[in-house]
Amino acid sequence: MGELAEVAGVSKRTIDYYTQMNLLTYIRTDANYRLYEANSIQVLHLIEHYKKLNMPLSKVKETLELMQKKECSQDINKVEEHIEQVMNMIQHLQEEMNEIKPLIERLNDGEREAMMMKFSPQSVELAQSILALFKEQLD
């Protein structure tokens, strides 16, 4: 548990709490150590991400369960609800971008370029994925 907490950047107490909520699963070794699943770090990062978006842990749990299912047709309402949440987040981000756009436009070229360098490759990839998803829906 300590290694997982260190790698994921959370406390052991957080790991224990998420385990009690069944957000994380593990098996016990003969020496009574907890062995967490290989995707536990990604799950922890996802939980922390959703927490930053003020999503209640009960909703995070539902989302994680939905993501782990192979077939979602029986849970179409949950899928639609999750899509709605994502769309609301995107709308909120768009509003935020509209507010900061005039500030960015007042920067000189060097400042603007330095700001663009702060975007992680993952955030650029995410933006491209979102655009591709919308393009598919419109076609």
Q: Would 19 be classed as within a structural domain? A: yes
Pairwise CA distance, residues 12 & 5, whole Å = 6
Q: Is the dihedral of CA 107, 127, 80, 47 positive or negative?
A: negative
What are residue 28's DSSP bridge partners? 34
Pairwise CA distance, residues 62 & 68, whole Å = 10
Pairwise CA distance, residues 36 & 100, whole Å = 41
Q: What is the pTM of this model?
A: 0.54
Q: Would 129 be classed as within a structural domain? A: no
Q: What pLDDT shows up at residue 74?
A: 60
Number of structural domains in the chain:
1
Q: What pLDDT shows up at residue 72?
A: 58
The structure tokens 């957080």 sit at 14
3-state secondary structure of 122: helix
Q: What pLDDT shows up at residue 129?
A: 72
> Helix, strand, coil shares of the chain as percentages rounded to 5?
75, 5, 25
Q: Would 121 be classed as within a structural domain? A: no
Residue numbers of the chain with a pLDDT score lower than 70: 69-75, 78-79, 120, 122, 133-139
Q: In sequence order, what are the residues at sequence separation of 6 or more whose Cβ sits closer than 8 angstroms to the Cβ of residue 59? A: 50, 85
What are the tens digits of pLDDT across the range 70-84?
Answer: 665 566 776 677 778
Looking up residue 2, the CATH number of its domain turns out to be 1.10.1660.10
Q: Would 17 be classed as within a structural domain? A: yes
Q: Would 133 be classed as within a structural domain? A: no
Q: Would 103 be classed as within a structural domain? A: no
Pairwise CA distance, residues 85 & 72, whole Å = 17
User: 9 lies in which domain range?
Assistant: 1-49
DSSP 115: H
Q: Would 8 be classed as within a structural domain? A: yes
The maximal CA–CA distance of the chain, rounded, in angstroms, is 63
